[in-house]
Amino acid sequence: MNPTRRHVLGALAAGALYGKPDPVVHQATGVKIGEVTPQSAVLWTRRTATPHRNDSGTVRKGHGKDAKVLAPGTDIATLEGAAPAGNGLVRVMLETASGREKKRTLGWVELNAANDSTHAFRIEGLTPNTLYKYAVETRGGKSKKEDGALTGFFRTAPVATDTSSFEFSLVSCQIYCRQDREDGYWIYDSLEKRKPAFLLSCGDNVYYDSDDPVANSEAVARYHWQRMYSLPTIASCLRNIPGYWQKDDHDLLSDDCWPGIVPPKQAPLKFEQGQRLFREQVPLPEASKPLYRTFRWGRDVEIWLPDSRDYRSPNDAPDGEQKTIWGPEQKAWLKKTLANSTARWKVLVNPNPIVGPDHARKNDNHANPAFAAESLEIRKWLRDNVGGSVILMNGDRHWQYHSVDPEFGLHEFGCGPASDEHAVSPSRGEDKKYHQFLRIKGGFVNVKAVPGEGLFIEHCDVKGRSVYQKAFRT
């Protein structure tokens, strides 16, 4: 097999990732560190059948209407980017980078092919604001020798009284067919160099319905995750930067989806399977807990991560007081926790826009007429109860923007897509009643919190260069 340029780049990245180019490491999809608190973290692992992704397989490039389902009998392992699950066991070794605490070992766990050989280690009893180093080790069976270890670092969150400055970043909309470099995406290279305290991935992590091949089975859906997260730039970045993941329509089932919808092209794959696969593929709260959650980072910042898919009414239902995206229980939780928060800055990160404005043709979010009643309720409540301390952020839209609601004064920042190639102009164009900033390119949002001074928000292009700044002074 003649190596492609990406194969060479992947091997070089693997060398950096693993400490040396060790062919016996069987973690081609890397690790994901998530749900970090002052005392805990979740470390997601997966053993793969081969040391590296298949960079010489059949390439699938269709997008949108050109995206097709796989022909019956196609072996997914033969596709470019495939990293099939491998049988075996996994364990984690953890210690503080300073070596001041005793090394901990989370013992061998047998992996299950029914869960794509993934496992999420839930690590408790950590020390706040402390740098930890870890090693994830696998082996092919109980009597087998250990594979090479995958190593990295992460820092726990500070306590709620901590006044240290920090940064975090927001990304969205990464479609495989529109990468902007041979080994993945420039934004992950930029983020790895910037080293934010954590990363927020607010949905559309993969595209089941519009990125070839169309996911019409759990096996093909899992292939989308394998192909994306084995990209060298992503795997390298996530080795040392913790994340918090949200899902949206494309990484759940289909465009603008809701519970009960059955897209014919993706049958027999169901909404409920997409829900379960999302929990399988990223580090999240325990299955018994809802995916809407909030977390505190130091004295000044608390972040809310609502779920915009699991509780929603059908998009085409008549609008009114009962029509909802968040559902009554989540909405009550959101209002209660926002009102009770003592953080100076309350950052509400919704997968979809609340303020917008959006495409004229869309009908699935709070910036659209289809959910106007709940949108009005939410925006009025935010102004009346946490106005002056709440900042809205979102993904989903394929342009970068900063808007201010002309009626309620709420600020909203859209991060834009992961690459310039995936950017598209809003059908309404620039709306001067709303837009303080509009850029039809890819990139991310970066936020710096400086206690006693304020919150400093910037839009960055894919290479990390600042293209717009907004300061909120304390």
- Summarised one tens digit per residue, pLDDT across range 135-154 is 999 999 999 999 999 999 99
Q: Please count the structural domains in the chain.
A: 2
Residues 26 and 86 in one domain: yes
Report the distance separating Cα 230 and Cα 236, nearest Å.
9
Report the distance separating Cα 28 and Cα 7, nearest Å.
12
Task: Output the domain CATH number for residue 110.
Answer: 2.60.40.10
Report the distance separating Cα 152 and Cα 27, nearest Å.
13
| Single-letter amino acid code for the residue at 146 | E
Residue 286 located in a structural domain: no
Please determine, for residue 420, whether its predicted confidence score (pLDDT) is greater than 70. Answer: yes
Collapse the DSSP code of 154 into the 3-class scheme (helix H, G, I; strand E, B; otherwise coil) and give the result. Answer: strand
Residue 196 located in a structural domain: yes
Tokens at 59, concatenated: 């390439």
More confident residue, 83 or 12: 83
Closest CA to 420 of 360, 457, 463, 466: 463
Residues 466 and 320 in one domain: yes
Q: What are phi and psi of 323, to 5 degrees?
A: -75, 135
Residue 377 located in a structural domain: yes
Residues 190 and 131 in one domain: no
Q: Which domain holds residue 61?
A: 5-155
Residues 37 and 116 in one domain: yes
Residues 48 and 141 in one domain: yes
Report the distance separating Cα 139 and Cα 144, nearest Å.
6
Residues 50 and 183 in one domain: no
DSSP structure class, residue 48: B
| β-strand partners of 297 | 301
Report the distance separating Cα 243 and Cα 305, nearest Å.
12
Residues 133 and 28 in one domain: yes
Rounded to 5°, angle at Cα 151 from 150 and 156: 135
Residues 331 and 405 in one domain: yes
Percentage of the chain beyond pLDDT 70 is 95
Residues 88 and 190 in one domain: no
Check residue 428 and give its pLDDT. 87
DSSP structure class, residue 156: P
Residue 95 located in a structural domain: yes
Residue 24 located in a structural domain: yes
For residue range 31-71, list pLDDT tens digits in order.
Answer: 999 999 999 999 999 999 999 999 999 999 899 999 999 99
Percent composition of the chain: helix, strand, coil (DSSP 3-state, to 5): 20, 25, 50
| Single-letter amino acid code for the residue at 139 | R
Q: What are phi and psi of 95, to 5 degrees?
A: -155, 160
Q: Would you place residue 247 in the very low, low, confident or very high pLDDT band (cuts 50, 70, 90)?
A: very high
Dihedral angle over CA of 444, 458, 456, 351, nearest 10: -40
Residues 82 and 11 in one domain: yes
Q: Would you place residue 6 in the very low, low, confident or very high pLDDT band (cuts 50, 70, 90)?
A: low
Residue 211 located in a structural domain: no
DSSP structure class, residue 159: P
Tokens at 293, concatenated: 């959650």
Check residue 3 and give its pLDDT. 44
Report the distance separating Cα 278 and Cα 322, nearest Å.
28
For residue range 440-465, list pLDDT tens digits in order.
Answer: 999 999 999 999 999 999 999 999 99
In sequence order, the 6+-apart residues with CB closer than 8 A to the CB of 336 are none
Residues 177 and 150 in one domain: no
Percentage of the chain beyond pLDDT 90 is 93
For residue range 260-284, list pLDDT tens digits in order.
Answer: 999 999 999 999 999 999 999 999 9
User: Order of strands across the sheet with 166-171?
Assistant: 118-123, 41-46, 32-34, 243-245, 198-201, 166-171, 444-450, 454-460, 466-473
Residues 146 and 184 in one domain: no
Domain boundary among 93, 124, 155: 155
Residue 235 located in a structural domain: no
Q: What are phi and psi of 174, to 5 degrees?
A: -110, 105
Place of tokens 């990295």: 152
Check residue 447 and give its pLDDT. 98
For residue range 113-141, list pLDDT tens digits in order.
Answer: 999 999 999 999 999 999 999 999 999 99
Check residue 193 and give its pLDDT. 97
Place of tokens 């050989």: 117
The H or E element that residue 224 is part of is helix 218-229
Task: Output the domain CATH number for residue 401.
Answer: 3.60.21.70
Q: Would you place residue 24 in the very low, low, confident or very high pLDDT band (cuts 50, 70, 90)?
A: confident
Q: What is the mean pLDDT of the chain?
A: 94
Residue 403 located in a structural domain: yes
**pTM attached to this predicted model:** 0.94
Report the distance separating Cα 236 and Cα 285, nearest Å.
23
Q: Would you place residue 212 in the very low, low, confident or very high pLDDT band (cuts 50, 70, 90)?
A: very high
Check residue 139 and give its pLDDT. 96
Q: Do 231 and 179 form a contact (C-beta atoms < 8 A)?
A: yes
Domain boundary among 155, 187, 216: 155
